[in-house]
Structure 1
């Protein structure tokens, strides 16, 4: 019984870690987008980054 509870918590932990990673990625992407826009390497016409 306790084994099932441990597994259940582990699965939830894995899921929450995945969610956190996704959240962090979107925050990082937004931050990169804003800094690129400020630096002027973002082309508003094509919507592409010019590296």
Structure 2
């Protein structure tokens, strides 16, 4: 998921440089949402992955 976030961020940067503001904004928004989902899932896996299995 982090790979997709970075991909959309790169697309947003390239679109912004080329002057496509709408596409850049959309790609940046998607990248931001994917990044936040990644962070939440990462933290949850750290919390629940530490539980001992008895």
Shorter-chain TM-score above 0.5: yes
Which consecutive segments of 4 or more residues in structure 1 shift more than 2 A? none
Structure 1, unaligned runs of 5 or more? 39-51
TM-score in terms of structure 2 length: 0.56
Give the structure, 1 or 2, with the largest relative contact order (CA under 8 Å, sep 6 or more).
2
Please identify the structure whose Cα radius of gyration is greater: 1
CA deviation vs aligned residue, 1:1-51 (integer Å, no higher than 9, x gap) = 7111001000100000000001111100012223xx66xxxxxxxxxxxxx
Q: Which has the higher helix share?
A: 2
Q: SS of the residue aligned with 1:11?
A: helix
Q: CA RMSD of the aligned region, Å?
A: 1.9
Structure 2, unaligned runs of 5 or more? 1-18
